[in-house]
Amino acid sequence: MIEEEVAKLLKLKAQLGPDENKQKFVLKTPKGTRDYSPQQMAVREKVFDVIIRCFKRHGAEVIDTPVFELKETLTGKYGEDSKLIYDLKDQGGELLSLRYDLTVPFARYLAMNKLTNIKRYHIAKVYRRDNPAMTRGRYREFYQCDFDIAGQFDPMIPDAECLKIMCEILSSLQIGNFLVKVNDRRILDGMFAVCGVPDSKFRTICSSVDKLDKVSWEEVKNEMVGEKGLAPEVADRIGDYVQQHGGVSLVEQLLQDPKLSQNKQALEGLGDLKLLFEYLALFGIDDKISFDLSLARGLDYYTGVIYEAVLLQTPAQAGEEPLGVGSVAAGGRYDGLVGMFDPKGRKVPCVGLSIGVERIFSIVEQRLEALEEKVRTTETQVLVASAQKKLLEERLKLVSELWDAGIKAELLYKKNPKLLNQLQYCEEAGIPLVAIIGEQELKDGVIKLRSVATREEVDVRREDLVEEIKRRTNQPLCIC
């Protein structure tokens, strides 16, 4: 009988086919994406809180847009980076793509709703088919934190505020010394024109110049000449300009440049930059700003001032490895983007910035690991505990009272937990207070409130417990 049953099983196995043809299912996240643990999410929430508070301090409203857009909405807006857009499979009539950034959807939103004036922020995930470098905070799915001012205003006032916001956020996050590089697309285009770059090659040469923060001038020149067909003498003339950087004195020097000062576009850009530096000095941040002629920002939609914040050095705390994270914030002026979507081509001038939060998270996480600093993952203020058995009902009543009063409270999900286990849970979770119920406390109408850090215990009348917890955890006594 056993032999017969084994034969039947072997026959069934043969019908299923050989094992080697079956692909083993690998449990992993897709390339360029990651999960976030409670500890990592706690860090992210603190970073987001700093950013959002700054955006709100400057009077911004918040909007949201779909995670995917019509493919034609995104096409032709990103220059050479367009190849990094994720296209979705046709789902019945509409060709769609995942959003590449938050700026183009914002411009579409303005045009669609006929808005000519808004100051908004938007924090959401974007998608790029890039080569991920996870250790440097470079992913295929990542958050962008954008702030933009749309509307017709006097020159450089909104632009200066954007740079002020960028400096406020990076200073508040305490991730190290930083420098904000500033340039203007009109200066770049004027420079290319006086150097002899054909009009048709402006954008492609611009994307080559944009690589100067990562590779040497010789490599950039070889790409311009070898791959993009630029004459070597033209490349040399560009090199004389793009290797210069400084402050307002460089702006004034270039205003006297015999070639550049004859170009209308470059002259406009330099005039605006001079005004910008005046406002930045009034905001007290001109020491953080550098006029850098190599800054090009490869995106096609920029029309005026462009800027990018880089860390001067990564935090070198004890035990930390140097971390090359590159740019941590960037932005610029894009006056023509909304007009691309408007049926009548009406322009809405815009300027904005984007904070590179993923790179900032990488720095903050590494610092916490090096310091072996424990991150609290909950905000629980008090654990409701019992000192004896058969007090579950009393614990449930008390925790409900605390929740109803707006107190963040927990209890262990056991009928009769040991007091030692309850106190240990508080220490592990970082919960600062324990409200202990015992038979004697119930008779006396009090709750024993214990500080986990000092182990000091005091009896608090039940009706005063909420106020005492709020006082000890610095929570406002009223919820307005």
Is there a binding annotation on residue 144? yes
Q: With a cut of 60, say whether residue 352 has pLDDT above it.
A: yes
List all residues 6 or more positions away from 194 whose beta carbon is below 8 Å from its beta carbon. Answer: 237, 259, 260, 262, 263, 266
Token readout for 167 is 């400096």
Residue 11: pLDDT band (50, 70, 90) is confident
Using CA atoms, how far residue 45 sits from 36, 56, 120, in Å, is 12, 16, 20
Identify the pLDDT of residue 16: 76
Per-domain residue ranges of the chain: 38-371, 382-474
Q: With a cut of 60, say whether residue 457 has pLDDT above it.
A: yes
Candidate ranges 42-46, 53-57, 344-348; pick with highest mean pLDDT: 53-57
List all residues 6 or more positions away from 351 whose beta carbon is below 8 Å from its beta carbon. Answer: 148, 149, 158, 159, 162, 304, 305, 331, 332, 333, 334
Candidate ranges 202-206, 211-215, 404-408; pick with highest mean pLDDT: 404-408
Identify the pLDDT of residue 404: 97
Report how many helices (DSSP H) and strands (DSSP E) the chain contains, helices first.
17, 16
List all residues 6 or more positions away from 438 whose beta carbon is below 8 Å from its beta carbon. Answer: 386, 387, 388, 391, 448
Give the span between the Cα atoms of 280 and 156, in whole angstroms: 10
Identify the pLDDT of residue 22: 59
What average pLDDT does this structure show over 254-270?
A: 93
Identify the pLDDT of residue 328: 92
Q: With a cut of 60, say whether residue 79 has pLDDT above it.
A: yes
Give the span between the Cα atoms of 77 and 73, in whole angstroms: 8
Q: Reduced to 3 states, what is the DSSP secondary structure of residue 149?
A: strand
∠ CA 308-312-315, nearest 5°, is 120
How far out from the chain centre does Cα 245 lie?
27
Question: pLDDT tens digits, residue range 81-140?
Answer: 788 899 998 877 889 999 999 999 999 999 999 999 999 999 999 999 888 776 666 789
Give the span between the Cα atoms of 310 and 295, in whole angstroms: 12
Give the mean pLDDT of the chain. Answer: 90
Give the span between the Cα atoms of 98 and 85, in whole angstroms: 7
> Among 14-18, 110-114, 195-199, 321-325, which is the least confidently predicted range?
321-325
What average pLDDT does this structure show over 335-364?
A: 92
Question: pLDDT tens digits, residue range 131-150?
Answer: 877 666 678 999 999 999 99
Token readout for 270 is 């330099």
Q: With a cut of 60, say whether residue 155 has pLDDT above it.
A: yes
Give the end-to-end CA distance of the chain in Å, rounded to a whole number: 79
Give the helix/strand (H/E) hosting 66. Answer: none
Half-sphere exposure for 479 (CA within 13 Å, toward CB) = 7
Question: pLDDT tens digits, residue range 265-298?
Answer: 999 999 999 999 999 999 999 999 999 998 987 6
- 10 Å CB burial of residue 291 (0-12, 13-18, 19+) is buried
CB atoms closer than 10 angstroms to residue 287: 11
Q: Which amino acid is it at 132?
A: P
**174 φ/ψ sector (left φ>0, alpha ψ -120 to 50, else beta):** left
The answer to whether 407 and 432 are in contact (CB under 8 A) is no
Question: What topology is assigned to 38-371 in CATH?
Answer: BirA Bifunctional Protein; domain 2 (3.30.930)
The answer to whether 433 and 455 are in contact (CB under 8 A) is no
Candidate ranges 198-212, 246-260, 441-455; pick with highest mean pLDDT: 441-455
Identify the pLDDT of residue 478: 41
Identify the pLDDT of residue 369: 83
Is there a binding annotation on residue 148? yes
Q: Which amino acid is it at 34?
A: R
Is there a binding annotation on residue 297? yes
Q: Which of the two residues, 11 and 52, has the higher pLDDT score?
A: 52
> What letter does residue 214 receive in the DSSP assignment?
T
Beta strands in 204-269 (DSSP E): 245-246
The answer to whether 290 and 245 are in contact (CB under 8 A) is yes
State in words which class domain 382-474 has.
Answer: alpha beta
Instruction: Indicate the angle between helix axes 465-472 and 392-404, nearest 10 degrees.
Output: 60
Identify the pLDDT of residue 479: 36
What is the β-pairing status of strands 245-246 and 68-70?
A: unpaired
Residue 204: pLDDT band (50, 70, 90) is confident
Identify the pLDDT of residue 368: 83
Question: pLDDT tens digits, residue range 294-345?
Answer: 898 767 789 999 999 999 865 455 455 444 457 899 999 999 999 999 988 8
Give the span between the Cα atoms of 442 and 447, in whole angstroms: 8
Length of the chain: 480
Is there a binding annotation on residue 302? yes
Identify the pLDDT of residue 122: 98
